[in-house]
């Protein structure tokens, strides 16, 4: 298993454990977006549709998504440390240090910014337990 696959598997596990939380459903009740999360050469596609989140296992060169967050697997692993080092704790801090690339239509990302910060910090909580 590559580093990218291992990082995305860790994210999948954390998301499936928290997916049924009512708070997450409430926070995404107005969100409709396809989000690509990239870890090195691997990717995971998340589909949000008004309170529901689905992991899309589609592959291929012509995937459609609204916005993407791409980073090296090592960047995601540092972001998920409990607690993360300064500068590795926040998605916008990662983007500022050029460790994370934000691509596409960022309107759904920015309107639900705190949700996506919490979503992509979910593997961090699993590390603490």
Query: What is the tens place of the pLDDT at every residue in 101-129?
Result: 999 999 999 999 999 999 999 999 765 55
Burial (0-12, 13-18, 19+ Cβ within 10 Å), 6:
middle
Structure-model confidence comparison of residues 22 and 67, the more confident one: 67
Which pLDDT tens digit goes with each residue over 28-72?
Answer: 899 999 999 999 999 999 999 988 888 887 777 778 999 999 999
CATH fold for the domain made of 3-128: Nonspecific Lipid-transfer Protein; Chain A (3.30.1050)
Task: Using alpha carbons, select from 66, 1, 87, 96 the residue that is nearest to residue 40.
Answer: 1
Q: What is the pTM of this model?
A: 0.90
E strand spans, 1-129: 32-39, 42-49, 52-56, 67-71, 100-104
- Return d(Cα 106, Cα 122) in angstroms, integer: 21
């Amino acid at each position: 298993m590559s580093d990218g696959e291992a990082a995305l598997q860790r994210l999948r596990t954390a998301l499936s454990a928290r997916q049924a939380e009512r708070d997450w459903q409430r926070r995404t009740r107005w969100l409709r977006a396809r989000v690509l999360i990239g870890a090195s050469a691997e990717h995971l596609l998340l589909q949000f549709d008004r309170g529901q989140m689905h992991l899309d296992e589609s592959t291929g060169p012509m995937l459609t998504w609204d916005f993407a967050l791409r980073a090296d697997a090592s960047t995601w692993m540092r972001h998920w440390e409990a607690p993360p080092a300064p500068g590795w704790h926040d998605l916008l801090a990662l983007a500022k240090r050029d460790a994370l690339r934000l691509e596409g239509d960022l309107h759904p990302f920015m309107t639900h910014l705190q949700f996506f910060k919490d979503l992509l910090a979910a593997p961090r909580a699993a590390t603490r337990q």
